[in-house]
Structure formats: structure tokens, C-alpha cells
Amino acid sequence: MPQTTKGGFIKLIILLVVVLVVLGYFGFNIENIFNSPTVSGNLHYAWSLAVSFWNKFLVIPATWVWNKIIIGVVWNSLIAILDKAQPISH
């Protein structure tokens, strides 16, 4: 039987805090690292690639899924259930 993991988000936060403490212990200043021109430029480049990829390849299928599945099926089914569940007024 596969083992289920619980508290994955809390473990991630704890791991992030531990990493930040260790980096601070060794003298790394995260703010200075992210504000450096090279890192800032790299992050800007990666973000522009992600936006370009979204706009060229993902926006049409994501919009279709949103409109047909989320809105078309889930939302409309939820509205229909809520309409049936309304009390009858006399």
C-alpha cells in the first residue's frame, strides 16, 4: 500500500525556513542576491519566457478548459443543485 504524506505544505515551509537560516549562517544575503543585476535579469528573462509560452501554447487550451469544464459543467451543475435546494416559499 502506498504511503500517504500529510503536511506537505508545512514541511515545505519548514524546509524553506531551514534553508534560509543555513544560507544566513554562511553569510548569504538573499535580498542582495535577488537584487543583483545578473539574477534580476535572469529572473526577468525566465518570466518573459513563461509569459510567452503561456500566450503561444497554453492560453487557448486553458481558456477552453475554464469555459467548458469549470464554468460549463461544474459551475452550471452547482447552480442547478442550489436552485433545487432552495426552500419552497408559501
Three cell numbers written together for 40: 534580476
Distance from C-alpha of 16 to C-alpha of 43, rounded to nearest angstrom: 19
Mean pLDDT by 10 residues, the chain (90 residues): 69 95 94 94 97 96 91 86 75
Can you give the pTM of this predicted structure?
A: 0.56
Three cell numbers written together for 9: 505544505
Does residue 22 belong to any structural domain of this protein?
yes
Number of compact structural domains in the chain: 1
Which residues, in sequence order, are CB contacts of 49 under 8 Å at separation 6+? none
Residues 56-75: pLDDT tens digits? 999 999 999 989 888 888 88
Query: For residue 68, what are the domain limits?
Result: 8-85
Does residue 45 belong to any structural domain of this protein?
yes
Does residue 2 belong to any structural domain of this protein?
no
8 A C-beta contact, residue 40 and residue 34: yes
Does residue 76 belong to any structural domain of this protein?
yes
Provide the 10 A C-beta neighbour count for residue 23: 13
Q: At which residue does the C-alpha cell 452547482 appear?
A: 78
Does residue 57 belong to any structural domain of this protein?
yes
